Amino acid sequence: MKLKAVNEKALTNCSASQQMLAKTTREGVETAFHRALKKKPCPYGVGGTCCRICYMGPCRVSDNAPGAATGVCGATAETISARNFGRMIAAGAAAHSDHAREVALTFLAAARGEAPGFEIRDEEKLRAVAAELGIEAAGKNKNRLAEEVGLKLLAEFGQQEGELHFIRRAPAKRQEVWQRLGVVPRGIDREIVEMMHRTSVGVDQEYVHLMLHGMRTSLADGWGGSMIATELQDILFGTPVPIRAKVNLGVLKADQVNIIVHGHEPLLPELMVAAAKDEELLLAARGVGANGINIAGICCTANEILMRKGVPVAGSVLQQELAIATGAVDAMVVDVQCVMQGLGTVARCYHTELFTTSSRAQIPGAIHLEFNHENGFEVAREIIRRAIANFPKRRAVEIPTEEVDLVAGFSHETINYMLGGRFRASYRPLNDNIINGRIRGVAAVVGCSNPRVRFGDLHTTIVRELIANNVLVLVTGCAAINCAKEGLLIPEAAELAGSGLREVCEAVGMPPVLHCGSCVDNSRLLVAGTAIVKEGGLGEDLSEVPVCGCAPEWMSEKAICIGQYFVTSGVTVGFGVAFPSTGSEKFSDYLFGGIKEHVGATWFFEPDPMAMARQIITILDEKRKALGIDVARERVLYDMEMRRKLEVV
């Protein structure tokens, strides 16, 4: 296929990606970037006012277009937009929660000795979660205790009444807000199903009422499915601690068998990392002329095995096709979420074998080797054997040289330990430095990458501006990978920070931008925010703390669900690219303003990265002023005697 020349520098700030875009254009291999240039988004769909839930339509509605104020059934723009928004929340919650369900089932199998290769690795966290769930641990070995924990959390998916356990982790004042609004989730699956029912033809037709259930559904994800996935993965694979690794396409090795794992469920990839060290397989690799077996990650699977195993990251979601275009990828293994169907076409242009492994997802032209917890090692070994056999079939190889250092693995437990040590773990130093002004506040920069904006540039522009203004930044997902490629996830990046944040980072030895994990690990940020509240001195609720969130390059329904559970939890969230309510003035006014009366936080939309950074800083400053900490405080240097007097909880 002959492709039009593209301006690679206009499409991304990543030089490795620019190189591969030039290569694919030259070779006539179409990628997401090429397709995005050819396809213009529907103006009604972008604004959220295209209704296709029944076939009296589909109806395209506009507040301002003559004769198009309502759909055939009479649905207004705000109703249609709210329904579409609610369905995005439900889809995002379903994605994260189905991930969590698969983890819970494997966790149970591991506890019962039915999942070869899996074992309970973090017994300390297991016992902490068990206590939180009201499960007595005395006299039980780790596997019996894990089985009880797994069964209790698995039951939360299908329960019809009651409350999710982890809701109780939220600040008491926030729980009161949810109780008053009637949005505490009863069961994960129930809220998702009810959202789909409410938004079907002829059911809920009042946009605020629809959004109240949208809040409940989002909480079923953030404080339910996602949090369950994070906690059980930590217990099963180990709670992340800071670890150094490499990122970008340069992590691929010309002299080794390269296998990329891509998707969101880290179950099979964990086994593949172990199997790649098997001496029999290494001998087979040497037998075909390779010097080893190199596992690298893409997207959130990358983040999961990065922060626990130090496995290098080849790139974020928009680099999945570009990685294959190097000609050096002998196998790509995918499971679920953010996997492009275009991979099948691109893989056929090179020698790469593409493997699907989930019962939920197949791709035309890919080889399907289904993973389950009973056969995980066999599948892992078979994929590696086939990748080894594919190594001699390589044609021209062109690997960008870019590979950048990063530090990942900042779980809530790690942050707690770093700030206070094993016996005095506390968020007190963070709170104190927010109160005294060294740190202006905390911002979460999360979410996907999107080819409709300059890939990677929005994330890094915002983050650089925030840290320069003494804002501590937490990153997850593809935002974390994009920031890592720009060298922002190493302690030396503190040189780019304002004087206050730099002083704190240098004292603790941490980067000014903390890698906190994958998409489901945004739940870690809720736990960290709650810890700040409980530590004291910064209000009684998340809505009072100087924190803010943003997803400047978002594209997935999961991002909408994540954003909504943060807003429902009291944290204002900004999105870039486009916003799926702008076709309705009333619904947008509610999301960008009126919702604050319910939850104490709002959404905002700002496509310009510098303007978004300034808006976040303004939000943090307003919260500081409300707390009365906007004026300079006397700086106190704690000596050892003063530290001994600190209250230990």
Annotated binding site: 42, 50-51, 54, 59, 73, 264, 300, 338, 448, 478, 519
Pick out the residues of the known binding site for [4Fe-4S] cluster: 42, 50-51, 54, 59, 73
Pick out the residues of the known binding site for [Ni-4Fe-4S] cluster: 264, 300, 338, 448, 478, 519
Nearest CA to 36 among 612, 577, 605? 577
> 3 Cβ partners below 8 Å, 6+ apart?
24, 25, 28, 29, 30, 34
Assigned token pair, 10: 């206009």
User: How, if at all, do strands 243-247 and 50-51 pair?
Assistant: unpaired
Nearest CA to 103 among 143, 164, 153, 142? 153
Residues facing 455 on adjacent strands? 12
Nearest CA to 389 among 308, 489, 285? 285
Please count the other Cβ atoms lying within 10 Å of the Cβ belonging to residue 462.
Answer: 30
Nearest CA to 488 among 405, 409, 548? 405
Q: Distance from first CA to last CA of the chain, Å, rounded?
A: 65
Let me know: does 422 contact 648? Beta carbons within 8 Å: no
* Site of tokens 């730099």: 502
State the sign of the Cα–Cα–Cα–Cα dihedral 446, 450, 453, 456.
positive
CA–CA gap between residue 206 and residue 507 (Å, rounded): 52
CA–CA gap between residue 299 and residue 320 (Å, rounded): 8
CA–CA gap between residue 432 and residue 434 (Å, rounded): 5
Of all helices (H) and strands (E), which one includes residue 355? strand 353-356
CA-to-CA dists, residue 157 to 68, 124, 205, 448, angstroms? 41, 25, 27, 26
Query: What size, in residues, is the chain?
Result: 649
Q: Which DSSP string do the residues of 509-546 spell out, in sequence order?
A: T--SEEE--SSTTHHHHHHHHHHHHHHSSS-SSTTTSS
Let me know: does 345 contact 321? Beta carbons within 8 Å: no
CA–CA gap between residue 497 and residue 471 (Å, rounded): 8
